[in-house]
């Protein structure tokens, strides 16, 4: 596609439920990144993929968060047993490679945990 | 540690120049970026500068980098209402494959 796409655009869930967020990177981009943006704050790095591998998981806030990537394409971010503090916009970005630094962002998924 | 700071709000009159400032702490930063975020939209890369440069100009945008003071600025000439958005400064620290973002500066352009 022309740009990074994410789905759903909005997700409202109840505390304790699991959610899955999807990211489709720009075709041919080998690097993929997940960030979280809390209301009124900057972006917080969560995880990145080089191909299907995630060398750096240090940004994941807790073991309730996990991510995977398949086929060097689509990635899913899963949050188990959601908490109210998980409410945020989750942004995905991709870049041609790790060494090519320009990251292109998707529109984000707004997650609201009631 | 890594930290990026920006002022939170800037108000300018249409047609004036806007200057958005940013400070960062990691002296090993290789690239510094400016992103624009409009309501309901993702982040749009505006421009970036490599750490061995001190200035970069791109149409109405001028980026100035003072490595000694770890200070980055974005100047928008002839600011228009369409420039109203949140502007994020970000650094890519040396050896890291993630961007460190500031909290964003909300630019309001009024007639």
Residue A100 pLDDT level (bands cut at 50, 70, 90): low
Strand bridging mode B9-13 / B61-66: unpaired
Quickly count helices (H) and strands (E) in chain A.
Answer: 0, 11
Q: Among residues of chain A, what percentage have pLDDT more than 70? A: 96
The answer to whether B24 contacts chain A (CB < 8 Å) is: no
What is the pLDDT, as a whole number, of residue A32? 93
- Which chain B residues touch A40 with a CB distance below 8 Å? 103
User: Out of A42, A101, A105, whose CB is closest to B103?
Assistant: A42
Q: Is residue A29's pLDDT more than 60?
A: yes
Work out the mean pLDDT of chain A and round it to a whole number: 91
Q: Are the CB atoms for A35 and A93 separated by under 8 Å?
A: yes
Q: Is residue B2's pLDDT more than 70?
A: no
The answer to whether B46 contacts chain A (CB < 8 Å) is: no
Q: Which residue has the tokens 């700071």?
A: B5
Q: Is residue A39's pLDDT more than 90?
A: no
DSSP B105: E
Residue B1 pLDDT level (bands cut at 50, 70, 90): low
Least confident of A77-81, A93-97, B76-80, B97-101: B97-101
Q: B98, A108: Cβ pair inside 8 Å?
A: no
Residue B28 pLDDT level (bands cut at 50, 70, 90): confident
């Amino acid at each position: 596609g022309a740009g990074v796409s994410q789905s759903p655009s909005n997700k409202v869930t109840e505390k304790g439920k699991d959610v899955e967020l999807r990211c489709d990177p720009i075709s041919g981009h080998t690097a993929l990144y997940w960030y979280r943006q809390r209301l009124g704050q900057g972006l917080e790095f969560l995880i990145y993929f080089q191909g299907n591998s995630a060398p750096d998981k240090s940004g994941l806030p807790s073991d309730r968060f996990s991510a995977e990537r398949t086929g060097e394409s689509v990635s899913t971010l899963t949050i188990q047993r959601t908490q109210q503090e998980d409410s945020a916009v989750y942004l995905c970005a991709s870049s041609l490679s790790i060494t090519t630094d320009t990251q292109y962002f998707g529109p984000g998924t707004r997650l609201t945990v009631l | 540690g890594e930290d990026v700071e920006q002022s939170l709000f800037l108000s300018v009159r249409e047609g004036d120049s806007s200057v958005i400032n940013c400070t960062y702490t990691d002296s090993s930063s290789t690239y510094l970026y400016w992103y624009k975020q409009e309501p309901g939209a993702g982040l749009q890369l505006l421009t970036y500068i490599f750490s061995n440069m001190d200035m970069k100009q791109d149409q109405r945008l001028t980026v100035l980098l003072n490595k000694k003071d770890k200070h980055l600025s974005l100047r928008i000439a002839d600011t228009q209402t369409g420039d109203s958005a949140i502007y994020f400064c970000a650094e890519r620290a040396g050896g890291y494959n993630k961007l460190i973002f500031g909290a964003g500066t909300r630019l309001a352009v009024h007639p």
